[in-house]
Structure 1
Amino acid sequence: MGLAEEAQKVAAEFEYSAKDVNNGVKEFIKQMDEGLQKQGAQMSQIPTYVTAVPNGTEKGLYMAVDLGGTNFRVCSIQLHGNSTFSLTQSKVAIPRDLMVAKTSEELFAFLAKQIAKFLETHHNEHYHSTIRRRTTVSDPRGFKDEEIFSLGFTFSFPVNQVGINKGTLIRWTKGFDIADAVGKDVCAMLQEEIDALHLPVRVAALVNDTVGTLMARSYTSPGKTGTLLGAIFGTGTNGAYVEKLSKVTKLTSSGSADYDKSTGEMIVNTEWGSFDNSMSHLPNTPYDTALDAESVNPGIQMFEKRVSGMFLGEILRRAILSLLSNKDIGLFTDEDSSRNDVSSTTCISEHSKLYQQWGLDTSFLSIAHGDNSAGLKVTRQALDGQYGVSAPSKEDAEAVQVIARAIGRRAARLSAVAIGAVVIATEKLKKPEAIATVGDKEPGEDEMVDVGVDGSLVEFYPGFEDYMREALREVDGIGAWGEKRIRIGIAKDGSGVGAALIALVADKAMKGDLAKFGEHSTSEAEVPQPRKLISHPLRHELQVHAEAPSNINTACYFYLKLNISNLSKIRSPSTKKTIEHLINPNSNISSLQIRAKISPSHLVITATTMPSLIQSALALESLGNLTGGLGFLLAPRLSLSFFVRDSTLITPLSLSLLQMLGGITIALAVPLVVAYPDTPTGVAHRRSAYLTLGAGEAIIVPLMLAWRGSEGCPFSDGFVFGGAGVLAGICAFRAFVLGVRPELMQAKGGRKGL
């Protein structure tokens, strides 16, 4: 058998027939359903807690960060509301020492600092609001115009996601190794470091890049129908699609997850690379078997090993080696140049990459597959220049090309199995308005099923989409007409634009607006306009800006969803009870303790709270000083009559001295009054006031007691002992606060703020 015939024989091993496609679709749907029902299925079917997709009318400014390997990317995305957006981004390399840091705080603090630098560089006006936040954190007038950026966090490491912005790290990969981060919520770790810098940023969503692909496509796709599926066919392969919540039974049965249910849908991350790991329906060849056996994860990701770009080159390399092992067919050998049109001896170097595992890049398949040059000149040049094959013949190139095309075609047809299974399982082709005859020329816009794809295979591999569509037409339940209704479009930057859009969905869920999210507006005026969303605890009030809250409960719910952990930071029991009452009207706090003012753009909730201990002490002491001082000034004779042993001791000199003492007493009330408010100025003056007054009292008390025993003391024993006792008590309280409980000096809500 000659070289051409042998190559055709090898290529035939990669044939994936229409029958195989249909059997694959049925098995794919079966494994999808299993993954929706239970943990540990071959296809994970991971709930993402993203419960809506955009339609292109959304507007707003959002942020995204992407930690996917050795680089960290920060983006801001301005959504224009007409399916277009503007993107600003920066990228920085992660220092090697931080990838293996002793604590997670070191890495996440670095990430937060990059966000701060990005804001300072690209959003200077908003960055200055963070400066105001640092200096006016306890001031009711502070940062009222500050805008909170909602941020989508693409974290490309294995996580156990339990909410739209909650997920614990399972393990590190890609060279990272920070032990204390494992098992911790990655969003919370990033938020903590963001809060430490007082940045106006909220980590709103934990993002998978495949889900981001779906979201990015749904925003930019033409027409009124939202995107059903986002798929990646590149170095790896995966898909995420919109599923009915009622079918995600493993989620609803757990009852522990927190997510919005108003849309009745949720995006599911299939992790379809692991489809049919048991190999009951996937095609197999000796080259696939050998590749899997020598891979780092034998028996795992079997679908991906037949579809993704990481593996196609290796499959071709092993197929070529099988031809090279047959000396009778003469691949890459032509000692007398009889088969070589360049009249040169053909041979392969013993150091050729074709003899090295993973030595053949998948990009070579694209070159060989699409080569229409005379005598396959392009393919031959690639074999010569990149793979150590000296002067390959046309027949050599043709043999390689026929096998490369067979491998690429099989990958595309397997990809169609995944797409077709999702389309059929979701019944998107069965809507009544979609019924049409084969004679119809083109489906209507509202009949289209939109699929967003990304990755080098689908974008650059010649004919990949054509092969997919060929297989889709062969799927029972899709056919020629259904295939026309499947619109496949490129979706770029799922980790950037897609992540920002997921942050937008998280905002909508927080505000309770997802029920209408994704509906197309009939006029521009109906396009939702995002308002500023901020929260900050004041001494006596909780201030929440939200989008036209319908009631107090909802508005306060927005506040808590902004960062639910903030509730634990509120130190005032009455304020905390007020908040708890607002989210749980059945609690036993009286509604009389709540005062609220609602306007179309904001809500101010005022709780009737008691002053803190330090404030009560300052108030009482100030009142005592002012009352006593005024008495000494305005009625010195009457005042002295209470203190002296004998009225004959009241003289013009003693009256003048008492009035002077009254002025000093009033003056001493000033630092107490200044220290009363829970503001940075007030808090800063408390320690100095207590130190100064305490030192004076510590001197006066022993002097009063010593003077009592002298003959010249005009004061009665009752006044001396009473006055010394009061001053000693005040002095002891100051010592307790300064030495034992200095935190009492702080503002009631804490200096850190929320």
Structure 2
Amino acid sequence: MDAILVADFIIKIQFRIRDICKELILTDDQLRMVMQKLDDEMNKGLSKATHDDAVVKCFPTYVQDLPDGSEKGNFLALDLGGTNFRVLLITLEGQSFDMKSKIYAIPQSLMLGTGTQLFDHIAQCLALFVKDLNLQDKVLPLGFTFSFPLDQQGLTRGYLVRWTKGFNCSGVIDEDVVALLEQAIERRSDVKIEVCAILNDTTGTLMSCAWKNRNCRIGLIVGTGTNACYVEKTKNVECAIPGNFAPHKSHMLINIEWGAFGERGVLDFILTEFDRAIDENSINPSKQLFEKMISGMYMGELTRLVLEKVVNAGLLFGGKCPSDLKKRGKFFTKYVSEIENDAKGKYTNCREVLAELGLRNVSDQDCENVRYVCSVVSRRAAHLASAGIATLLNKMGEDNVTVGIDGSVYRFHPYFHDLMTEKINQLQNHKFDLMLSEDGSGRGAALVAAVAAGHR
């Protein structure tokens, strides 16, 4: 009898946890509504008449050629998109390439300082890198991956729309970041670097995958942030600036900036109390709402908020909430991947994570319930990203499109790839393939520089 009562009690608790989580579980009808709204928002971004007021900007990248494998030479790539940046030297020769790279930190003070300080720091690191390789006397073409929303007005002109990912440097918004980098390099006058192209990490991902796989037509990032780009027919890119691209070329890459999707209430029908809490406590309230539901910068915190509610309802850890679980940012996104990586019925990683949060001697049932909450949050992220990709596949109307994907969430979460493959298939009918990108923001930047510099 006791065993039956215990089992009944466990089922009731699970049922109540599922009730708390139910708004995070999206139906296919809801996802199709997301797709319809994303398509509408993208059309506003592409149209000349509505581009300026559009939320989903669909910026032209002015990249109109994909690599064909014949690129050769030495190219620098600068990859700025988070708390670190990388400098790379990439040597291309047919289908072989050699890469040397170094990672440099950006201190918090520089992330929140002036733009001049930031770009002087980047130029200093570039110069050190080039001198270490004894290439300071060579003119080196550089591809600049700048993974923040950019209003691109040419291959080497990009104006920062807004900072994301914890950056807030003064004097950069509405400025041409290529010019800011060039001025910082000129102030030093000790290296010869020619900025050939500025691009987003999604563009780099697409280019890097296209170098290996000619079918790659979409680039996706699911990491600290999320964004996508795709190959659009040039005639549909009404917002591109005449004279800055070749109208006779049939296609152009579009940087969607889909992280902004959901502003102005468009996604209110799927926002939960947890999403609203994330948004209100972020440095950019009411902005980047799609990103806040998907990306690694927020996934751990979303999970923490759900867990905190479950504990406070008396359904987890005997209703006792450890102090670390009450603190914003203390439940890291990597914990979600680690907990879901446990084999079924085993809770080794989960117990390690909970120990880090000050919880020891937790029951298997508590671990199972923590894993369920993690899975609900990560599955919703995968399904929303899938709705985005399904929208693009429908828009392009082609079969056998390869989607190049990069980012820590996609790379390290144990089920993200499978969840996306399954859901994209359910949401649209075109054949497609998901391909893990190898260093899109590095190699891809060099490839854009190579194609732009005409080194074939």
Q: Would you call these one fold, judging by a TM-score over 0.5? A: yes
Q: 1:211, CA displacement in angstroms?
A: 1.2
**Is the 8 Å Cα contact of residues 158 and 169 (structure 1) preserved in structure 2?**
yes
Pick aligned residue for 2:305 from 289, 299, 318: 318
d(CA) in 1 for partners of 2:259, 2:292: 8
1:357 counterpart residue number: 328
CA distance in 2, matches of 1:101, 1:323: 39
Match of 1:366 in 2: 337
- For the Cα contact (< 8 Å) 1:4–1:395, is it kept in 2? no
User: What count of residue pairs does the alignment treat as equivalent?
Assistant: 440
Partner of 2:56: 43
Aligned to 1:205: 197
| Counterparts of residues 542-561 of structure 1 (less than 5 Å) | none
Q: Does 1:238 align with 2:227?
A: yes
8 Å Cα contact 2:127-2:190 kept in structure 1? no
Aligned partner (choices 360, 363, 366) of residue 390 of structure 1? 360
Cα distance, 1:108 vs structure 2: 5.0
Please state how far the C-alpha of 1:506 moved relative to its aligned partner: 1.6
CA displacement at 1:451 relative to structure 2: 0.7
State whether residues 21 and 471 of structure 1, in contact with CA within 8 Å, keep that contact through their aligned partners in structure 2.
no
Q: CA deviation at 1:371?
A: 2.0
Q: Within 2, Cα distance between the matches of 1:29 and 1:99?
A: 34
Structure 1 unpaired stretches of 5+: 131-146, 334-346, 430-447, 509-528, 531-754
Matched, 1:78 2:91: yes
The residue aligned with 1:332 is 317
Determine the structure 1 residue equivalent to 2:4: none
**Would the alpha carbon gap of residues 282 and 412 (structure 1) be closer, same or farther in structure 2, given more than 3 Å must change?**
farther
What displacement does 1:41 show? 1.2
Residues 354 and 77 of structure 1: CA distance in aligned 2, closer, same or farther (over 3 Å): same
Partner of 2:20: 10
Instruction: Decide whether the 8 Å contact of 1:172 with 1:178 is kept in 2.
Output: no
| Contact 2:308/2:321 (<8 A) preserved | no
Quick one: which of 245, 249, 263 aligns to 1:259? 245
Alpha-carbon displacement from aligned partner over 1:402-446 (angstroms, at most 9, x marks no partner): 2221222121111110111111101113xxxxxxxxxxxxxxxxx
Deviation of 1:496 (Å): 1.6
Report the Cα distance in structure 2 between the residues aligned to 1:491 and 1:282, rounded to whole angstroms.
33
Q: Which residue of 2 aligns with 1:162?
A: 153
Check whether the contact 1:155–1:208 (CA below 8 A) recurs between aligned residues. yes
Q: CA deviation at 1:68?
A: 4.2
SS at match of 2:52: coil
8 Å Cα contact 1:348/1:389 also seen in 2: no
Name the SS for the 1:453 alignment partner: strand
Contact 2:311/2:320 (<8 A) preserved: no
CA contact (8 A) 1:453 1:490 kept: yes
Task: Tell me the amino acid that sits aligned with residue 153 of structure 2.
Answer: V
Provide the C-alpha distance between the structure 1 equivalents of 2:91 and 2:217, rounded to a whole number of angstroms: 24
Q: 2:392 aligns with which of 406, 418, 422?
A: 422
For 1:18 and 1:103, the matched residues in 2 are separated by 44
Q: Secondary structure at the match of 1:506?
A: helix
Aligned with 2:325: secondary structure? Answer: helix
Per-residue deviation, 1:119:
3.2
Q: 1:428 to 1:371 in 2, by over 3 A?
A: same
Q: Does 1:217 align with 2:169?
A: no
The answer for the alignment partner of 2:67 in structure 1 is: 54
Q: CA deviation at 1:26?
A: 2.1
Q: Compare CA radii of gyration and give the structure with the larger one.
A: 1
Q: 1: CA distance between counterparts of 2:16 and 2:114?
A: 57
CA–CA distance in 1 between the matches of 2:228 and 2:406?
Answer: 10
**Structure-1 residue corresponding to 2:382:** 412
Once the two structures are TM-superposed, the CA of residue 36 in structure 1 deviates from its matched residue by 0.7
The change in CA–CA distance for 1:323 and 1:48 in structure 2 (over 3 A counts) is same
Partner in structure 1 of residue 406 of structure 2: 454
Q: Is the 8 A contact 1:24 1:281 kept in 2?
A: no
SS of the residue corresponding to residue 208 of structure 2 reads: helix
**Identical-pair percentage:** 33
Residues 237, 304 of structure 1: 8 Å contact kept: yes
108-117 vs 488-497, greater mean Cα deviation: 108-117
| SS in structure 2 at match of 1:372 | coil
CA contact 1:3–1:399 (8 Å) conserved in 2: no
Q: CA deviation at 1:465?
A: 1.3
Which residue is 1:432 aligned to?
none
Structure with a larger share of its residues in strand? 2
Note if contact 1:24-1:282 (Cα within 8 Å) is conserved in structure 2: no
Q: Which moved more, 1:170-179 or 1:64-73?
A: 170-179
- Indicate how the Cα distance of structure 1 residues 228 and 400 shifts in structure 2: closer, same or farther if over 3 A, else same: same
The whole-number CA distance in structure 2 between the counterparts of 1:386 and 1:35 is 45
Per-residue CA deviations over 1:507-565 (Å, capped at 9, x if unaligned) read: 23xxxxxxxxxxxxxxxxxxxx74xxxxxxxxxxxxxxxxxxxxxxxxxxxxxxxxxxx
- After superposition, the C-alpha distances for 1:681-711 in whole angstroms (9 at most, x for unaligned) are xxxxxxxxxxxxxxxxxxxxxxxxxxxxxxx
Q: 2:285 aligns with which of 275, 298, 301?
A: 298
Letter matched to residue 276 of structure 1: G
Structure 1 residue 291 displacement after superposition: 2.7
Flag the 1:56–1:21 CA change in 2: closer, same or farther, 3 A: farther
TM-score (normalizing by structure 2): 0.86
Equivalent position SS for 1:63: strand
Distance in 2, matches of 1:87 and 1:400, equals: 41
Alpha-carbon deviation of 1:151? 0.9
TM-score, L = length of structure 1: 0.54
Alignment check: 8 A CA contact 2:60 2:239 kept: no
